[in-house]
Amino acid sequence: MTTTDRVEREFAEQHMHTILARLAGPAALPRADQVDAVHAVLQPASRVLVVQATGWGKSAVYWAATHAIRSTGAGPTLVVSPLLALMRDQVSAAERAGLKAATVNSTNIDDWDEVFQRLDDDAIDVLLVSPERLGNPRFAARLGALLARVGLIVIDEAHCISDWGFDFRPDYQRLARALLSTPTASVLATTATANERVTLDIGKQLGAGTVTFRGTLARTSLTLSVVPGLSPLQRYAWIADALEQLPGSGIVYVLTVAEAERLTAFLRSCGHAVDAYSGQTDADTRLKVEDRLRHNEVKAVVATSALGMGYDKPDLGFCVHVGSPSTPVAYYQQVGRAGRAVAHAEGVLLPSDADERIWDYFATASIPDPQTAAKVLQSLGGDARSLIEIEADTGVRRGRLEALLKILAVEGVVDKDGSAWQATGVPYVHDTAKWTALAQVRQQEAGIMRQYANGAGCLMAYLQTALDDPSPAPCGRCSVCTGQLPFPGLMPSQDKLIAARNFLRGMDVDIEPRKRWPAGVGRKGTIRGFDAGRAVAFADDPGWVVELQTLRLALGDVPPDLLTGALATLGRWAKTWPARPVSVVPLPAPDMTANRVLAEHIARKGRLPLHDVFSWRGGPAPDNTASTPVVAHLESAILLPGDAELPNGPVLLVTSTVRTRWAATVAAALLREQGASQVLVLALHLQP
């Protein structure tokens, strides 16, 4: 080591010591590779990648580097962070480290001018931004001047910029590309969840001179377990039992928003202090839930992956997964929230037979289809069009359309101006080899999680191997190594099973009425259709798993328990009705057998007249498409004779299954047009 190198390393070590003392106390000592990483970042226009386990201290590296850079008179650090929760924690951590920090994101737009003025006054050491800011004209207009001033750019959770990452985000990659163009600032990318393929891809994006620091991903404080073979109902009961003994407070991860809300409601009914957290939780509530968990005011937060990257609670005692993420990287990222600053934490997976169906959806959601891309570009033509207009014109469903437009924007093929999208004139070239390889990788990763759930060897070593850890080794602590499971073991208590079944079968499932007709159909404007709706079960409802499977396969037969459940749902719902229905009408469908069975049962038990007045013409409505073609088909398929006799008053429209709600909406509109004063919809199963 030359004298210059030694002096530079001592400079890096001095600032690392300063930051650690502020964050963790004067006795805290830096790791050698932390100092090496800071030293590397401090080189002119450097490109550095740090891949280290959660809790290793990656944020301390960029706070120390910022502290050092600012001490030389250089500009502030710009941190790109993918989650609001993570940004809030990082602002707090930066301030504890003695740095002046601010953020620009979608929740503090009114503060932007003040933040920009502080930047102009050189009164901010760290600015944190979300990846979506590049699409905002106010921020984009300032980006050039900002990049000319910053001394360091940090891309946190850098696996998000890789096509191969488990949480690839087009907006994130787009912003990263813009930031990497700066010729003067150093760039530091950090992640805890990158296998070799993702690491190489990030390094390629950073540039040929990238210096990579990669360490072991093993977590000695974390005990991993898999509890196999539980039914959906048993998993609910298992968690209710386990929360009585799991250490500290923690996170219960689920795969869907509906599951988060449903499981939270059940656990609360058992007396547990829990909160729900998902992508549909508003920003203020998210902040409150995060704080309640951080201060141990709840035993657990039942969350989707929305609560994951960077959430800072070092003493988190457990992570339980109800259903498995589709990749080992995603699973490691989530379970790694636990055990960062405690001697012992539990990471438990309760796998589900339904997992792979959910995996299949998410595996294809972000992969563009060239025919669909061509259809979208043809729809745009030379005009700017809104998302709703493109959806109506192409028939591509909203979620997939938004994902495709973001990818096309990254490729420079489309651009967004306000709320409208327009083609740029750049042709879309579909990289078949790349997207095919990505689909194959995701299939392989799903296979790895399948083997993990089956206990194919030491669980920690299995994750290390899957993430290309340089030194995988048996942990000696997991359920495979020891043969032991955390309480309550392989089977929950009988009282919790009964409680789960009764609770889930007593839940009310609302069916939200549609508000407006889509463009391009016969009816226009505000919908006058059904007023309210209820369903017995929603999605993969744990309380009705066997009955819903029978309903799907029985071709017209309705399980007796579901018929009983329908009457119970009506009994609870009837307490809120302004008037009792005067007629029961089966919803029209290509095969109305199950609908008629349900209608006849309700009419008989409720002593109401049955009016089987609808008929269906032609085939089923198109599936997995936008609203316009669905409604256009239904308008021609659903027939209600003009002379159909219906009593005056409210009508109960019943069906075995509801998914898009459009069939019920069109049928209800016909009933209202023929004189029904109100239409209520009852379904056995509301599908997502």
147, 24: one domain: yes
Q: Where are the alpha helices (DSSP H) in 31-111?
A: 32-41, 58-71, 84-96
- Mean pLDDT, the chain, rounded, equals 90
Residue 173 has pLDDT above 80, yes or no: no
User: pLDDT tens digits for 372-406?
Assistant: 999 999 999 888 999 888 987 887 878 788 889 98
Residue 531 has pLDDT above 80, yes or no: yes
Residue 85 has pLDDT above 70, yes or no: no
pLDDT at site 310: 59
Q: Label residue 12 by pLDDT band (50, 70, 90).
A: very high
203, 254: one domain: no
Task: Answer with the one of 385, 413, 429 that is the final residue of a domain.
Answer: 429
pLDDT at site 466: 85
pLDDT at site 409: 86
Query: 116-141 as b/e, with b when 16 or more CB fall inside 10 Å?
Result: bebbeeeebbbbbbbbbbbbbeebee
Strands of 196-256, DSSP E? 211-214, 222-226, 250-254
469 three-state secondary structure = coil
User: pLDDT tens digits for 106-131?
Assistant: 788 889 899 999 999 999 999 999 87
pLDDT at site 203: 92
Instruction: Indicate the residue type of 293.
Output: L
Instruction: Indicate the residue type of 647.
Output: P
Residue 395 per-residue DSSP state:
-
340, 243: one domain: yes
- What's the total number of domains in the chain? 4
306, 332: one domain: yes
Count of beta carbons in the 10 Å neighbourhood of residue 542: 25
Q: Is residue 153 part of a domain?
A: yes
Cα torsion angle, 482, 484, 485, 487, sign: negative
Task: Answer with the one of 214, 230, 252 that is the final residue of a domain.
Answer: 214
CA distance 604 to 659: 26
CA distance 452 to 324: 10
19, 87: one domain: yes
156 three-state secondary structure = coil
Q: Is residue 446 part of a domain?
A: no
Q: Label residue 516 by pLDDT band (50, 70, 90).
A: very high
**Cβ distance 335 to 319 under 8 Å?**
yes
Give the tokens for residue 612: 């089987």
Q: What is the mean pLDDT of residues 666-684?
A: 96
CA distance 212 to 206: 11
415 three-state secondary structure = strand
Residue 166 has pLDDT above 70, yes or no: no
Residue 522 has pLDDT above 90, yes or no: yes
- Residue 191 has phi, psi (to 5 degrees) of -165, 155
54, 159: one domain: yes
Residue 360 has pLDDT above 80, yes or no: no
CA distance 264 to 274: 6
Cα torsion angle, 411, 417, 421, 427, sign: negative
Q: 162: closest CA among 207, 203, 130, 129?
A: 203
Give the tokens for residue 627: 């609203």
189, 269: one domain: no
pLDDT at site 608: 96
CA distance 646 to 652: 12
**If you count them, how many residues does the chain have?**
688
User: pLDDT tens digits for 441-490?
Assistant: 888 888 888 889 888 889 999 888 888 888 889 999 999 999 999 999 99
User: pLDDT tens digits for 203-230?
Assistant: 998 988 999 999 888 888 999 999 999 9
Residue 131 per-residue DSSP state:
G
Strand pairing class (615-616; 638-639): antiparallel
Q: Label residue 305 by pLDDT band (50, 70, 90).
A: confident
Q: Is residue 443 part of a domain?
A: no
Residue 145 CB burial class (10 angstroms; 0-12, 13-18, ≥19): exposed
CA distance 102 to 470: 37
User: pLDDT tens digits for 587-642?
Assistant: 999 999 999 999 999 999 999 999 999 999 999 998 877 888 999 999 999 999 98
Q: Label residue 361 by pLDDT band (50, 70, 90).
A: low
Only one residue has tokens 């030694």, namely 6
Task: Answer with the one of 164, 198, 214 that is the final residue of a domain.
Answer: 214
In the 3-class helix/strand/coil scheme, how is 422-457 assigned residue by residue? EECCCCCCCCHHHHHHHHHHHHHHHHHHHHHHCCCC
375, 346: one domain: no
489, 589: one domain: no
Vertex 159: Cα angle to 143 and 438 (nearest 5): 115
Q: Where are the alpha helices (DSSP H) in 84-218?
A: 84-96, 112-120, 137-149, 170-180, 196-206
490, 586: one domain: no
Q: 346: closest CA among 490, 238, 219?
A: 219
Give the tokens for residue 546: 């066997």
Q: Is residue 49 part of a domain?
A: yes
Residue 42 per-residue DSSP state:
T
CA distance 230 to 81: 37
Q: Is residue 363 part of a domain?
A: no
Give the tokens for residue 87: 């940004």
CA distance 210 to 41: 10
Q: Label residue 586 by pLDDT band (50, 70, 90).
A: very high
Q: What is the mean pLDDT of residues 298-305?
A: 96
CATH of the domain at 243: 3.40.50.300
Q: Is residue 349 part of a domain?
A: yes
Residue 212 per-residue DSSP state:
E
Give the tokens for residue 461: 């070593």
Residue with the bigger pLDDT between 353 and 627: it is 627
Count of beta carbons in the 10 Å neighbourhood of residue 280: 13
CATH of the domain at 377: 1.10.10.10
pLDDT at site 363: 64
Q: 240: closest CA among 202, 285, 277, 273?
A: 273
Residue 506 has pLDDT above 70, yes or no: yes
Residue 352 has pLDDT above 70, yes or no: yes
534, 606: one domain: yes
Q: Is residue 378 part of a domain?
A: yes
CA distance 529 to 678: 8
420, 465: one domain: no
Only one residue has tokens 């898999």, namely 226
pLDDT at site 393: 81
Q: Is residue 295 part of a domain?
A: yes
Residue 159 per-residue DSSP state:
G
CA distance 413 to 408: 5
**Cβ distance 53 to 219 under 8 Å?**
yes
Q: What percent of the chain has pLDDT over 90?
A: 60
Q: Label residue 309 by pLDDT band (50, 70, 90).
A: low
Give the tokens for residue 217: 């991903």
Helices 494-505, 257-269: inter-axial angle, 10-degree rounding: 120
The whole-model pTM stands at 0.81
Domain span including residue 314? 222-355+457-504
